[in-house]
């Protein structure tokens, strides 16, 4: 199933996982996925470790989720630590295993490094990777976008110009970096449309489950936490349950509003856990179903 086809039918709901470090982590992840499966996600995705560290695990995991667990799965592929030959081999492997969807990214630098460095015979930016993958196989390709501007971009307009170039290279849809203020997402979507970017934009959502963790994540990716929300969670910082309740409530309200305002889909950054995502999904299910019911009928 191509994600672009799914996006034409309904607001997608998708879950992102990362490849665990060891066997116990894999068993835990399979349990998490089994718990999320009844929610009938449009697709799940598996990240490509920073610095290209999880290449083999990513491919094995997506193939297994798709063939054994019968859930549409896509691999993230990044430019990190990979030559064109390495990427070609991974793309051929994925295609041979019947996978049709890829999320193509530049990648984060490996732990301990601040700047991204491309391989000599590799790709420096995601648009080059998208073009290469599109030429090699008929993949449905997603790309990342950054509603609050990528931290390395020289300006929001330049970032948008490069995003337009990436879409022109062959992105069928975009998945956004996490954000906590929907107005930021709507303004970005309007600016993207004005710049001629008309592919569906899926909203990336991460419920706040720990104050320290979310501060680290937002600092890394350049997302901001609205002051009012930050003050609320900081006020109960030492009470794990209270932080989770606030974080889940905020994420649920975000998802409701996004579905009411035509977001193309919701992509949950699950951190390999299922409880918060399931609880939020129960609250938004009626809206997801309503969006599917109003979608245009499928092509014959
Ligand atoms: P690009 O589109 O290449 O943009 C990166 C920067 O370069 C931007 O500042 C942009 O303005 C600029 N730029 C773009 N094109 C050009 C050009 N042609 N010339 C000059 N400048 C240019 N990271 C991982 O390591 N593994 C993952 O699995 C992973 N999954 C992710 C999933 C999602 C949904 C998102 C939103 C991010 C994910 N990331 C992942 C993080 C991502 O790799 C980083 O945010 C990275 O810093 C940027 O990736 P990009 O694909 O947006 O890069």
Q: Is the pLDDT of residue 300 over 60?
A: no
Q: What is the mean pLDDT of residues 266-281?
A: 97
Q: Is the pLDDT of residue 261 over 80?
A: yes
CA atoms within 13 A on the CB side of 211: 16
Q: What is the mean pLDDT of residues 198-210?
A: 98
Whole-number percent of the chain with pLDDT over 70:
98
* Residue of minimum CA distance from atom 11 in ligand 1: 159
Choose the residue to mutate in 113, 145, 150, 219 for probing ligand 1, maximizing ligand atoms within 8 Å of C-beta.
150
Who's near 179: CB < 8 A, 6+ residues apart? 147, 148, 185, 203, 204, 223
DSSP string, the chain: --HHHHHHHS-EEEEEE---SSHHHHHHHHHHHHHHGGG--SEEEE---GGGTTHHHHHHHHHHHHHTS---EEEEEESBT--HHHHHHHHHHHHHTT--EEEEE--PPPTT--S--B-TTS-SSHHHHHHHHHHHS--EEEEEE-TT--TT-S-HHHHHHHHHHHHHHH-SEEEEEE-S-HHHHHHHHHHHHHTT--S-EEEEE-----HHHHHHHHHHHT----HHHHHHHHHTTT-HHHHHHHHHHHHHHHHHHHHHTT-SEEEEE-TT--HHHHHHHHHHHHHHHHHHHHSPPPP-
For the ranges 49-53, 151-155, 177-181, 213-217, the lowest mean pLDDT is seen at 49-53
pLDDT computed for residue 111 by the predictor: 75
pLDDT computed for residue 295 by the predictor: 72
Mean pLDDT of the chain: 95
Confidence tier at 68 by pLDDT (50, 70, 90): very high
Q: Which candidate in 16, 72, 100, 131 is catalytic?
A: 16
* Residue of minimum CA distance from atom 9 in ligand 1: 153
pLDDT computed for residue 298 by the predictor: 54
The token pair at 230 is 């930050």
Q: What is the mean pLDDT of residues 260-281?
A: 97
pLDDT computed for residue 296 by the predictor: 58
Confidence tier at 54 by pLDDT (50, 70, 90): confident
pLDDT computed for residue 198 by the predictor: 97
Whole-number percent of the chain with pLDDT over 90:
89
144 ligand 1 Cβ < 6 A: yes
Q: Is the pLDDT of residue 56 over 70?
A: yes
217 ligand 1 Cβ < 6 A: no
**Is 237 considered catalytic here?**
no
Span 91-150, pLDDT tens digits? 999 999 999 999 999 998 777 777 888 888 999 999 999 999 999 999 999 999 999 999
Q: What is the mean pLDDT of residues 238-245?
A: 97
């Amino acid at each position: 199933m191509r994600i672009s086809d799914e996006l034409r039918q309904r607001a997608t709901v998708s879950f992102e996982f990362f490849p665990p470090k060891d066997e116990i982590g894999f068993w835990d992840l399979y349990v998490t996925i089994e718990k999320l499966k009844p929610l009938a996600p449009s697709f799940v995705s598996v990240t490509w470790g920073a610095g290209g560290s999880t290449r083999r695990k990513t491919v094995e995991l997506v193939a297994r989720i798709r063939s054994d667990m019968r859930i549409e799965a896509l691999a993230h592929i990044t430019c990190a630590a990979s030559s064109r030959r390495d990427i070609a081999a991974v793309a051929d492997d994925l295609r041979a295993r019947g996978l049709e969807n890829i999320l193509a990214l530049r990648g984060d630098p490996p732990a301990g490094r601040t700047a991204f460095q491309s391989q000599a015979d590799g790709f420096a930016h995601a648009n080059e990777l998208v073009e290469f993958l599109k030429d090699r196989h008929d993949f449905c390709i997603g790309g990342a976008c950054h509603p609050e501007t990528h931290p390395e971009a020289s300006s929001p307009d330049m970032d948008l110009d490069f995003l337009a170039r990436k879409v022109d290279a062959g992105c069928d849809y975009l998945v956004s970096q996490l954000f906590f203020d929907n107005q930021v997402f709507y303004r970005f979507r309007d600016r993207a449309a004005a710049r001629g970017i008309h592919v569906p934009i899926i909203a990336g959502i991460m419920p706040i489950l720990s104050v320290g963790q979310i501060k680290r994540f937002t600092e890394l990716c350049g997302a901001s936490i609205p002051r009012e929300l930050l003050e609320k969670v900081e006020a109960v910082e030492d009470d794990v349950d209270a932080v989770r309740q606030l974080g889940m409530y905020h994420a649920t309200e975000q998802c409701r509003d996004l579905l009411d305002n035509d977001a193309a889909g919701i992509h949950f950054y699950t951190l390999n856990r299922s409880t918060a995502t399931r609880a939020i999904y129960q609250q938004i299910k009626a809206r997801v179903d309503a969006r599917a019911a109003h979608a245009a009928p499928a092509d014959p």
